[in-house]
Amino acid sequence: MKANRVQVEVVTIGDEILIGQIVDTNSAWMATELNKCGFELAQITSIHDDEKHIIDSLNLALERADIVLFTGGIGPTNDDITKQTLAKFFNTKLVFDEAVSQNIEQLFVNRPTLVLNELTRAQAMVPEHCTVIQNLVGTAPITWFEKAGKVIVSMPGVPYEMKQAMSLEIIPRLQNFFKTPVLLHKTVQVYGYPESALALKIADWENQLPKYISLAYLPNSGIIKLRLSGLLDDMLALEFSINQQVDKLSQLLGDAIVAYEDVSIQNLVGDLLKEKGLMVATAESCTGGNIAHEFTLIPGSSEFFKGSIVAYANEIKTNVLQVSTESLTQYGAVSQSVVEQMAEGVRKLLKADIAVATSGIAGPAGGALEKPVGTVWIAVSSAEVTLSREFRFGSLREQNILRATQAALLMLKEII
Amino acid sequence: MKANRVQVEVVTIGDEILIGQIVDTNSAWMATELNKCGFELAQITSIHDDEKHIIDSLNLALERADIVLFTGGIGPTNDDITKQTLAKFFNTKLVFDEAVSQNIEQLFVNRPTLVLNELTRAQAMVPEHCTVIQNLVGTAPITWFEKAGKVIVSMPGVPYEMKQAMSLEIIPRLQNFFKTPVLLHKTVQVYGYPESALALKIADWENQLPKYISLAYLPNSGIIKLRLSGLLDDMLALEFSINQQVDKLSQLLGDAIVAYEDVSIQNLVGDLLKEKGLMVATAESCTGGNIAHEFTLIPGSSEFFKGSIVAYANEIKTNVLQVSTESLTQYGAVSQSVVEQMAEGVRKLLKADIAVATSGIAGPAGGALEKPVGTVWIAVSSAEVTLSREFRFGSLREQNILRATQAALLMLKEII
C-alpha cells in the first residue's frame, strides 16, 4: 500500500520572484531532491518580506505539513526580516553566536577583496534555542527549529548556498528525523500522441496499476513523459512490479516509446552517436540553428557533432548545399526533394557520417492553402539511406521551431 | 504619490512544479506583466490537483487579494479537477458550451493528424454562470468568475496558451474591471557593469529620484535592464519627469547604455539591419548556432538574416570558411586571427553584407592557464572593416554560450 509521505512546504521570501525579476529555479530543484528522498512537496508559496505575511504563511503551513522550509530573506540588508520574525514566532531573542562569527570571518579570509562590514557581522546574531547549521559558502547561517514533532528550517535563497545546505545538511537531518522510506521512479517517454489520446490509449493499463504506484503525465514539445513513482517497504518487490508495468506499457505503445529514462532526446542521440563512433551534421532552414544549439549545449558535444549549415536564404541551399535550382523552382523550399538534397549536401560538405535537414514554414507569414504554417519536411541521410517525412505542427512560430527540432532529433535517433 | 495597487495572487495547480519536473517560468512572466500594468503580485502558491487544497487556497487568497489567477489543472485528463472544483465552489454545474466546442473543432480542422476524442469534447463543458473566454491556441477554455467585487480566473498552464490569454484577454479585462491607472515605464539597458558596481555608480542618481518613480534592476546574461516605473495622475508631467531622469542617467553612463527601450538586442539588430537594407550571416563555433537561433525566432527574419555556418569541428573552419591551417596551428581555434578569418569567410561564402563570428571555450573541458574556460573571441566583418575583441566570461557552459551570443549581437549593433 501507498505509505503516507512526510509532507513538506516551501516558502520563498523576497521581492525578486514576485516582481518577475528572477525565475524561481530553487523550488524545482528542491522538489526533485525532496521527492527522490521520499518526501512529498505539498505547496510552494512565494511571499514578500513582510512580518505578518511570513507568520501567517508559517501558521498555515504547519496546519498542513510536517516540514516548513523557508528560503531567502536572511541577507544582511534592512529589508530582510525573516530571522527577527522567526525569533518573535518562537518567543525567543537574537543572541550572538561565536561559531557563526568565526565561520563568517573564515569566509572573508579566503576572499580578501570583500570587506567585513557591520551588516555582515550582524549575520552572527541568531535566534536563541534553535539549532544553528553553518553555511559554508555564505554569511547567512541556517537555522533549524522543532515544534510539536514538526521541523521549520530557514536557509539562504542564493541557489548554490541553498543547494549546498539542502544536500549536505538539511535533507540528511530530515531523513533521520522522520525515518523516511526511499521512493523508486521510472520514466517512459512517448512520442506522437496528444495527451488526451494517450490517456485514452492507456486508460485500462492505468486503472490496473497497483495502488502503491502513481502515474504522472509530463508533456514537453511533442513528447509526453510518463513517470511511474512507487513507494513500498520491500524495494526488490517494488522494482520488480514497476518493471512489470513498464513491460505492459511497452507492449501497448510499441515504437511510440522513444526512451525508458528521464533524459533529453539530444542527450540520447549524442550518447548513441558516441557509442557508434558517428559524427553528425545538420542543415537547418526552419529550425534556424536550434538543433545545432541543442547539441552544443551538451558538454563534450564536439565528440559527435561536426557543425551545421543554417541555410535560411534559398541561395545558400543551392550555392553551399548543392540543392538543384530546378527542385527549388519546381517543388519549393519546403518539399521532400529539397530537404533530402539538403541532408545529403550537408553530410558530404561537412564530411559527416549522418545528417539531418529541416525545411518548413515556421510562421506567422509564408503559409499557403496547400502548405499551411506549421508544415515541415525533415530528412535524415547516411551513406546508405536517405529518409524523409512531412509534419504538420501548429500556428505558433516558437512552438513550430521547438517541435521541428524534437522531431528531427527523433528521426535521427531512429536511423542511428 | 504612489497609489495602492490592486492585489493579485497566482495559484498554479498541478504536480509538475511540485515534483520538480518543470521550473515555474509562468509566474515570473505573469509577475512582470502584472507589474507593468499597475497590479501588485502579493503571493504565488503552487499546489497539487486536490479539491480541498484548491478551495482552501482560493478562500485564503480571496481574504488577501482582489484578483486570484489559477493556472493549470484544466487539461483533458482525469487528474485535472480545477473546473469541477470551481463549479462546486460557485455552487453551479458544468454545462455544454457550443462556442467552446466550435473553437475546439476549429483547432482540430487545422491539424488533421489529431483526432477529436471524447476527452477533448469534454473540454467544452464549462461552469454555468461564468464568463467563458475562448482559448485560441488550445482546447481548454478560460473561465472568469466575479464574486463580491473580486475576480477569479482559471486559465491553462501551458506557457504559450497562458501568455496568449493573459496578454490579449485577461489583463485588458482586469484593467477595465478595476479601472487601474496607467503606469508609465521606461527601460534603459546597460552593458558592461556587474550589478553591484552599477548600483554604486548610480546610487546618487537613484537617491534623488522622485517618490512617484520606482526603479527595478533586471539582470539578463550580461545586460542589466533598469526599469523606471512612474505612477502619477498627471501623465504629461510624469512623462516629462521620467525623460528628465533618463537624460541624467544617460550622462552618467554614456556608452554603457545599449538601448533605451525594452526590446531584445537581436530585435534591435534586426530592425537596424532592415532599416539599412543589410543582410547578416554568422559563423559560430562556441555559440553553436545560438545566434542564428535567436535571429530566426524573430518573425520575418529572412529579410535580414542569410544563414550561418556552425563550424564546430576545426576542419569546417578550414574547408568551408577558408580559415588558414597555419593560423589554426599557430594561434589555436580560439584566437583573434582565426575568428577574424571566420567572419570574413562566412561573409563571402554566404554573400552577406555583414558577418559575426565566435570562437571560444564554453567549458567545462578545454580550458588552459592562458585561455581558461570562458575565453571567447568575437569578430565582426563588413566589406570595409573587420573588428575583433576578446572576452572572459565565467565557468558555466550555458552561461558562456548565452553571454557570447549577447556580446556578439552588441558588437554587430555597434558596427551597423
- The answer to whether residues B380 and B356 touch, using CB atoms and an 8 Å cutoff, is yes
Q: Is the ipTM of this complex over 0.90?
A: no
Per the structure block, which three cell numbers stand in for B56?
482552501
Please tell me the distance from the alpha carbon of residue B1 to that of residue B257, in angstroms, as a whole number.
29
Q: Do B29 and A42 touch (CB under 8 A)?
A: no
Nearest to A246 by CA among A196, A191, A205: A205
Is B278 at the interface with chain A, CB within 8 A? no
**Rounded distance, CA A117 to CA A115, Å?**
6
Average pLDDT over residues A128-143: 91
Q: How close A129 gets to chain B, by Cα (Å)?
A: 30
For an interface test with B, which of A11, A36, A40, A46 has the most B Cβ atoms less than 10 Å from its Cβ? A46
Q: Which residues of B271-292 are buried (b: 16+ CB within 10 A; e: fewer)?
A: eebeeeeebbbbbbbbbbbbbb
Q: Which value, in Å, is the radius of gyration of the alpha carbons in chain B?
A: 26
- CA dist., res. A28 & res. A127, Å (int): 29
Q: Is A247 exposed, middle or buried (0-12, 13-18, 19+ CB in 10 A)?
A: exposed
Asked if the C-beta of B308 comes within 8 angstroms of chain A's C-beta atoms, the answer is: yes
Cβ separation B31–A20 shorter than 8 A: yes
CATH level 3 topology of B265-415 = Maf protein (3.90.950)
Q: Which of A41, A69, A293 to mutate to test the interface with B (most CBs of B within 10 A)?
A: A293
A105, pLDDT greater than 50 = yes
Report, as an integer, the average pLDDT of A341-358.
98
Contacts of B79 in chain A (CB under 8 A): 217
| Nearest one of B173, B30, B166, B155 to B86, comparing CA atoms | B155
- Flag whether residue B304 sits within 8 Å of chain A, measured between CB atoms: no
Q: Best residue in A188, A190, A196 to probe B by mutation, most B CBs within 10 Å?
A: A196
Taking CB atoms and an 8 Å cutoff, what residues of chain B touch A216?
A: 15-16, 19, 21
| Residue A290 to residue B295, Cβ atoms within 8 A | no
Question: How many residues in total does chain A contain?
Answer: 416
For the domain made up of A184-259, give the CATH fold: Alpha-Beta Plaits (3.30.70)
Q: Is the peptide bond before B364 cis (omega within 30 degrees of 0)?
A: yes
Long-range contacts of B112-117 (CB under 8 A, 24+ apart): B112/A392, B113/A392, B114/A194, B114/A197, B115/A194, B115/A197, B117/A196, B117/A197, B117/A200
> pLDDT truncated to tens, each residue of chain B (416 aa)?
344 789 999 999 988 889 887 889 999 999 989 988 889 999 999 999 999 999 999 999 999 999 999 999 998 777 789 999 999 999 999 999 999 988 888 887 766 555 667 767 788 999 998 999 999 888 899 999 999 999 999 999 989 899 999 999 999 999 999 988 767 889 999 998 877 788 889 999 999 999 889 888 777 777 888 989 888 878 889 999 999 999 999 999 999 999 999 889 999 999 999 999 999 999 999 999 999 999 999 999 999 999 999 999 999 999 999 999 999 999 999 999 999 999 999 999 999 999 999 999 999 998 888 899 999 999 999 999 999 999 998 888 988 999 999 999 999 999 99
Question: Å from A403 to nearest chain B CA?
Answer: 13
Contact A195 B77 (CB under 8 A): yes
- With CA atoms as reference, the chain B residue closest to A11 would be B45
Looking at domain A6-178, which of 3.40.980.10, 3.40.390.10, 3.30.200.20, 3.40.630.30 is its CATH number? Answer: 3.40.980.10
Q: Cβ of B112 and A392 within 8 Å?
A: yes
Neighbouring-strand partners of residue B189: B225, B259
The answer to whether B130 touches B92, Cβ cutoff 8 Å, is yes
Q: If residue A222 lies in a helix (H) or strand (E), which one and from where to where?
A: none
C-alpha cell recorded at residue A243? 518493471
**What is the per-residue DSSP string for A296-307?**
HTSTTGGGTEEE
CB-based burial label for A217 (10 Å; 0-12, 13-18, 19+): buried
Q: Is there a contact between B302 and A313 (Cβ–Cβ < 8 Å)?
A: yes
Q: Write down the pTM of the prediction.
A: 0.79
pLDDT digits (tens, 9 = 90+) for A263-290: 999 999 999 999 999 999 999 999 999 9
Considering only CA atoms, which of B339, B288, B352, B332 is closest in space to residue A281? B288
Confidence at residue B1, expressed as pLDDT on a 0 to 100 scale: 30
Between A114 and B191, the higher pLDDT residue = B191
Q: Where are the domains of chain B?
A: 6-178, 184-259, 265-415
Inter-residue contact B377 to B336 (CB < 8 Å): yes
Helix, strand, coil in percent for chain A, rounding step 5: 45, 25, 30
Q: What does DSSP assign to residue B153?
A: E
In contact, B286 and B360? CB cutoff 8 Å: yes
Cell numbers given for A1: 500500500
For residues B213 and B207, give the distance between their C-alpha atoms in angstroms, rounded to a whole number.
Answer: 11
Give the strand pairing for B67-71 and B6-13: parallel
A320 part of contact set with chain B, CB < 8 Å:
yes
Residues of B in contact with A350 (CB under 8 A): 313, 316, 320
Interchain proximity A44–B46, CB inside 8 Å: yes
Integer-rounded Cα Rg, in Å, for chain A is 27
- The grid cell for A231 is 513507494
Given CB atoms, is B324 within the 8 Å cutoff of chain A?
A: no
**Chain A within 8 Å of B332 (Cβ-Cβ)?**
no
Instruction: Please name the residues between 1 and 30 in chain A that touch chain B, using a CB distance below 8 Å.
Output: 17-25, 27-30
Chain B residues close to A54, C-beta within 8 Å = none
What does each C-alpha distance from B253 to B191, B219, B226, B227, B413 come to in angstroms? 10, 16, 12, 15, 18
Contacting residues of B for A53, CB less than 8 Å apart: 42-43
Task: Quote the DSSP letter at residue B93.
Answer: -
What is the residue whose three cell numbers read 538586442? B265
CA B125, CA A95: separation in Å to the nearest integer?
59
Considering only CB atoms, which chain A residues are within 8 Å of B315? 351
Residue B316: closest CA among A71, A302, A325, A6 = A302
CB contact under 8 A, A218 and B30: no
CA B72, chain centre distance (Å): 20
Query: Under 8 Å CB-to-CB from B154, ≥6 apart: which residues?
Result: B70, B73, B74, B82, B83, B86, B142, B143, B145
Shortest Cα–Cα distance, A214 to chain B (Å): 11
Q: Are A124 and A94 in contact (CB under 8 A)?
A: no
Q: How distant is the Cα of A10 from the closest Cα of chain B, in angstroms?
A: 10
For position A66, what pLDDT does the model report?
A: 97
**Run of H or E residues at B286:** none
Query: Does B216 reach chain A within 8 Å, measured CB to CB?
Result: yes
Strand order in the sheet with B213-220: B213-220, B223-230, B184-191, B257-259
Residues 38-57 of A with CB under 8 A from B: 41-48, 53
Peptide bond into A112 cis (omega under 30): no
